[in-house]
Amino acid sequence: MLDIKRIRKHTDEVAAGLAKRGYHLDVDAFNELDARRRALDMRSQGLLSERKQASRKVGELVKQGVPVDEAKQTVDVTLARLSAELDEVVADSRAVQAALDELLLTIPNVPAPEVPEGASEDDNLEILRWGEPRAFDFPVMDHVDLGAREGLLDFDEATKIAASRFAVLRGPLARLHRALIQFMLDLHSQEHGYTELNVPYLVNADSLRGTGQLPKFEEDLFRVVRDPALYLIPTAEVPVTNLVRDTIVDALPLKFVCHSPCFRSEAGSYGRDTRGMIRQHQFEKVELVQMVRPEDSSAALEALTGHAETVLQRLGLPYRKVLLCGGDIGFSSLKTYDLEVWLPGQQKYREISSCSNFGDFQARRMMARWRDPVDAKPAYLHTLNGSGLAVGRTLVAVLENYQQADGSVAVPEPLRPYMGGVMRI
């Protein structure tokens, strides 16, 4: 969440930054709640002081000649009145604080100054393109038709055993999917310095609030009905980032890589990408997460994005890198790069990784801090994450970009050791 002091002192600046993403900050509602909370806090402190002073009145009254019992009775009446009023003020203060906290949880992050203006993905800023899309001398098939050969990719069977927007992978295609995961994990852990993790696929509500999925995006989550409720993770970002929740870290940076399945209801995406594996309820990602010092987060975003780009480059997949505009940036993000891979079957670039710097936005929600060695005081750290990469979409890109005239698919050279030397499927 945003620093309340920042909103209080720089209200117009924060409101203008949020307007870049199309969010209207209700300044009047914030100011009213903030003023009421501070006034109630001041009244609470005043009543505590009055009660403390009143408790000393017995001795003063006795010195003035008032009988002890009468003095105690007089003071008890005053203390009872003050305590009753204090209880009322404290209850009001808690209610106002709860309303203020609820408001703060719904306010998105303020985009960085360099984030471009814009209302949708059409306004994103292209930073670079890598690789040239392949020129085919035969009719191009998409991954659905390629996978249908020998039943290697089956959506009907998945619908039978689950629902639409699921897939069954068989034989060499399932192995290619696994090879991509192992290749990515090895690359990031052995060459990019990330520590590999294996984490729970179910998380509690506190974890989702910490990374910003709750309360705003609850409809996009799969909730397991139990008490307390658990949710299937929408991304490994949630459990991995929450490792530092309610923690003071002594040394930074922390760099983690984690493969996991991801589960999303895709609420609001009805009718979009219904063909194939582009938008599924269950998919897999290799996620990169970093926790860094505040002064290092801008450079860390460039490095993390570069790590995701390396996967595409090693696999020889053409892609472009775009800086998301204010209207397309995620709720918690300060700045986001999307990597979009070229898909011959669609004749367009499609997102395969989203790499974001959240600043201290998630850290404030999680109470995730580090101890600055300069003054030894705890301070909020900065968090970042990005897909390195989305496995299913990478599989789609490999199938379509490496397809052959006979319908087979060449295996990219970096994946062959993970495929037992197989060169074509």
369 in active site: no
Of these residues, 51, 279, 314, 371, which one is catalytic? 279
Could you tell me which residues come within 8 angstroms of residue 90 by beta carbon, excluding any fewer than 6 positions away? 44
Residue of 196, 351, 408, 416 marked catalytic: 351
Of the candidates 207, 297, 354, 387, the residue annotated as catalytic is 354
Rounded Cα distance between 136 and 134, Å, is: 6
Secondary structure string (H, E, C) spanning the chain: CCCHHHHHHCHHHHHHHHHCCCCCCCHHHHHHHHHHHHHHHHHHHHHHHHHHHHCCHHHHHHHCCCCHHHHHHHHHHHHHHHHHHHHHHHHHHHHHHHHHHHHHHHCCCCCCCCCCCCCCHHHCEEEEEECCCCCCCCCCCCHHHHHHHHHCEEHHHHHHHCCCCCCEECHHHHHHHHHHHHHHHHHHHHCCCCEEECCCCEEEHHHHHHHCCCCCCHHHCEEECCCCCEEECCCCHHHHHHHHCCEEECCCCEEEEEEEEEECCCCCCCCCCCCCCCCCCEEEEEEEEEEECHHHHHHHHHHHHHHHHHHHHHHCCCEEEEECCCCCCCCCCCEEEEEEEEECCCCEEEEEEEEEECCCHHHHHHCEEEECCCCCCEEECEEEEEEEEEHHHHHHHHHHHCECCCCCEECCHHHHHHHCCCCEC
In contact, 219 and 267? CB cutoff 8 Å? yes
CA distance 208 to 99: 19
Catalytic residue among 264, 350, 364, 365: 264
- Amino acid found at 157: E
Q: How far apart are CA 7 and CA 108, in angstroms?
A: 12
- Residue 310 CA to residue 262 CA, distance in Å, equals 23
Task: Please identify which of the residues 237, 309, 393, 400 carries the catalytic annotation.
Answer: 393
Residue 38 known to be catalytic:
no
Instruction: Give the separation between CA 286 and CA 261, rounded to whole angstroms.
Output: 9
Asked about 126 being catalytic, the answer comes back as no
Question: What residues are annotated to the active site?
Answer: 264, 279, 351, 354, 393
